[in-house]
Amino acid sequence: MKALMSTAPGGPETLSLIEQATPSPRKGEVIVAVKAAGVNYPDTLIIKDLYQFKPPRPFAPGNEVAGVVEALGEGVTHLSVGDRVAATLAPCGGFATHAAAPAAATFPIGDMPFEEAAALVMTYGTSLHALKDRAALAEGETLLILGASGGVGSAAIELGKAIGARVVGAVSSTEKADFVKELGADEAIVYPKGDLSRDDQKALSASFKEACGKNGADVIYDAVGGPYAEPALRAIAWEGRYLVVGFPAGIPTLPLNLPLLKGCQIVGVFWGAAVQRDPKGHEANLTLLKKLVADGAIQPRVTETFPLERGAEALKKLESRSATGKLVITMP
């Protein structure tokens, strides 16, 4: 098998395409001949040893794949060799032609294209867990999404609309604004790039308040962090829920008088840990996601694919925050 491996801490340029033995399945595992692997922001962190999990090297990043079951481990009864499946890995190993996946985290995908199936579990799983389990977003509420054109952000738009919320997407360019409107956002805001002065932050907060209405945003989905967090928090509604999803723009420092004055909650979203701690809840969410796909309420937006040997380019594009929708690596 071939795998794009991290052999030392560093950026995407440190990854190497390596040939190695195809693994054999252990008890409770399946071997998946990978056809597509989703690219996610944590992949850019895990190769730098900046993620919550630090796997021993060498390892291949990537924790969501789609492909064909090639071998079954002891005790696996709900899958068969030849099944078309998607799987989540724990927490890496996806950027390879073959992957050992926990059978409990592997499920049939029917005739769904491999690229779309590889773009479903982590981004939509994260966003569904955030909006449903952590924020209890309700029909008729207003949802403000920072980083709305990215993988988890675009998933949050579709899921927010499926729930019946009014969705405001915040992005960093007019092209991305057009993209989120195409996804179904009711309104799009373009925020400035780079460091923001206090005046810039006040102006941005005013834009958020105007777009969200006089009551503010009932739920804020923050997948950006940095200097954008405080302006967004100032636009939250009374008893609103502020979801901490990620911080590619930096870990923000928030004035804690704002949650007091707004009567709001700041809620952490750690999907990977939630999957491990509540596997039944994760299974229920997967069932709901598959239903939403079948009903046409959501559709993974794969905007660009990269062959395995160019996988580092996909990570660089994600790291630079220039990507829209979902990036996927395809195998030979």
pLDDT of residue 51: 87
Domain membership of residue 283 (yes or no) is no
**Which three-class secondary structure state does DSSP give residue 135?**
coil
Structural domains in the chain (count): 2
Average of per-residue pLDDT across 13-29? 96
pTM score: 0.90
Domain membership of residue 288 (yes or no) is no
Strands 2-6 and 15-19, sheet pairing:
antiparallel
User: Do 108 and 188 belong to one domain?
Assistant: no
Q: Does 20 score more than 90 pLDDT?
A: yes
User: Do 28 and 68 belong to one domain?
Assistant: yes
247 DSSP β-pair partners: none
Torsion angles phi and psi, residue 91, rounded to 5: -110, 15
pLDDT of residue 96: 98
Torsion angles phi and psi, residue 330, rounded to 5: -110, 150
Question: What CATH number did the domain enclosing 98 receive?
Answer: 3.90.180.10
How far apart (Å, rounded) are the C-alpha atoms in residues 53 and 64? 15
Question: Residue 297 is which amino acid?
Answer: A
How far apart (Å, rounded) are the C-alpha atoms in residues 291 and 310? 33
Residue (of 189, 193, 195, 123) closest to 159 by Cα position = 123
User: Do 111 and 171 belong to one domain?
Assistant: no
Question: What CATH number did the domain enclosing 201 receive?
Answer: 3.40.50.720
Taking CA atoms, 109 is separated from 86, 113, 128, 276, in Å, by 6, 8, 19, 22
pLDDT of residue 92: 93
6 DSSP β-pair partners: 15, 59
- Residues 113, 181: contact at Cβ < 8 Å? no
Other CB atoms within 10 Å distance of the CB of residue 78: 11
Q: Does 322 score more than 90 pLDDT?
A: no
Domain membership of residue 209 (yes or no) is yes
pLDDT confidence bin for 324, thresholds 50/70/90: confident
User: Do 25 and 140 belong to one domain?
Assistant: no
User: Do 146 and 267 belong to one domain?
Assistant: yes
Where do the DSSP E strands lie in the chain? 2-6, 15-19, 29-39, 64-72, 84-88, 98-102, 106-108, 142-146, 166-171, 187-190, 217-222, 236-244, 265-268, 302-307, 326-330
**Which three-class secondary structure state does DSSP give residue 22?**
coil
How far apart (Å, rounded) are the C-alpha atoms in residues 217 and 211? 9
Q: Which residues of 106-131 are buried (b: 16+ CB within 10 A; e: fewer)?
A: bbebeebebbbbbbbbbbbbbbbbbb
Domain membership of residue 277 (yes or no) is no
User: Do 98 and 143 belong to one domain?
Assistant: no
Domain membership of residue 323 (yes or no) is yes
Residue (of 98, 151, 150) closest to 124 by Cα position = 151
pLDDT of residue 91: 83
User: Do 268 and 171 belong to one domain?
Assistant: yes
Domain membership of residue 135 (yes or no) is yes
Domain membership of residue 284 (yes or no) is no
Mean pLDDT of the chain: 95
Average of per-residue pLDDT across 94-114? 95
Domain membership of residue 186 (yes or no) is yes
Q: Which of 85-89, 90-94, 112-116, 131-135 has the lowest mean pLDDT?
A: 90-94
Q: Does 265 score more than 90 pLDDT?
A: yes
User: Do 265 and 130 belong to one domain?
Assistant: yes
Taking CA atoms, 217 is separated from 28, 100, 113, 208, in Å, by 44, 42, 36, 8
Residue (of 155, 153, 135) closest to 237 by Cα position = 135
User: Do 263 and 184 belong to one domain?
Assistant: yes
User: Do 263 and 179 belong to one domain?
Assistant: yes
pLDDT confidence bin for 320, thresholds 50/70/90: confident
User: Do 111 and 226 belong to one domain?
Assistant: no
Q: Structure tokens of 51? A: 């993620």
pLDDT of residue 90: 78
Q: 8: domain range?
A: 2-120+300-330
User: Do 88 and 166 belong to one domain?
Assistant: no
